[in-house]
Amino acid sequence: MTSKTEFEKQADPHSPSNSAVVDKGLGNELGQNSCFLNSAVQVLWHLDVFRQSFKHLSQHCCLGDACIFCALKSHPNLVSDGLRQALAETFRDEHKFQLGGMQDAAECFEVLLTYLHHHLGMDSVDGMCSSPCCIPHIKFASALCEQCVCCLCGAASDPLPYHQMVHYVSCKALWSVILKLRERKKPQCHYLELFIALWQAGCGAKTRLHRVLTNSPEVLALGLIWDSEQSHLILDVLHLISTQLRLSDVTFAVIHQYVTFNFVACST
């Protein structure tokens, strides 16, 4: 931490050791188009569990100019130039995240988590990382197992275990289900209703997709897919988002029944 005297010296434009006040925060100069990147980074920095864990880390697999870890470690000012340069170098062959170009903030958020895993997970296999230093997997990763089971004939698909950093939901599908539930005069609308699967069992009956969460992540990142051209849908969906969310609202079954999450930040 910086003492009051040292901070005053840094912030004083008349201080002999400073010619200008030190700027704080994220920059976005004209033509940089870094608003999407700033939005994603601000979400991470608003999460105490990420910020506190990240500041204690130093050992990582450095990739030089393409090192996203080093770019995020720049302190006290996180100038977007360094992080944009690292992203541009990382995705040079894919022609994505190039300097001056616009990208999706939600995609950028997931990319940052994925590549932090590559820096911190060392030789771990992606999706099955057990490194004690890998913040993305320790704090964000949800361990899920999906299976379709027919309640009528008992037929079941093979279980599919996987990990995910962000749980995506279609806004168009979400609003469609909400309207149907309102027609049936249900008092509450749970996200679980979104996962009605059309997988056909041997008897031809519709089945429900059973999604079981086998761990309890410290951070649950939800990605809303804006797949509708109706502008009013944005406000309608945002009004549905509460300040708290239960794990049981987004999965068919959970190991920890009473875990709730508080809304912290939003990237748009």
Distance between CA atoms of residues 257 and 119, nearest Å: 33
Whether pTM > 0.85 for this model: the answer is no
Could you tell me if 258 and 147 lie in one domain?
Answer: yes
Domain that holds residue 225: 141-262
Amino acid at 198: L
DSSP string, 4-40: HHHHHHHH-TTSTT-SSPPP-S----TTT--HHHHHH
Domain end call among 101, 130, 159 = 130
**Local confidence pLDDT in tens for the 268 residues of the chain:** 333 433 344 444 444 444 444 455 677 778 888 889 988 888 888 899 998 999 888 889 998 888 999 888 875 555 677 888 999 999 999 989 999 999 988 899 999 999 999 888 865 555 568 788 899 999 999 888 888 887 777 788 888 888 889 888 788 777 777 777 677 665 554 444 443 333 333 455 567 777 888 888 889 888 888 877 777 777 777 777 777 777 776 665 667 666 777 777 776 5
Could you tell me if 164 and 188 lie in one domain?
Answer: yes
Distance between CA atoms of residues 224 and 205, nearest Å: 29
Could you tell me if 186 and 88 lie in one domain?
Answer: no
The tally of domains found in the chain comes to 2
Give me the residue label for tokens 């509708």: 228
33 within some domain? yes
Q: Is the dihedral of CA 200, 206, 209, 210 positive or negative?
A: negative
Could you tell me if 208 and 151 lie in one domain?
Answer: yes
Distance between CA atoms of residues 250 and 189, nearest Å: 11
Q: Smallest Cα–Cα separation from 147: which of 203, 97, 189, 209?
A: 209
Could you tell me if 48 and 96 lie in one domain?
Answer: yes
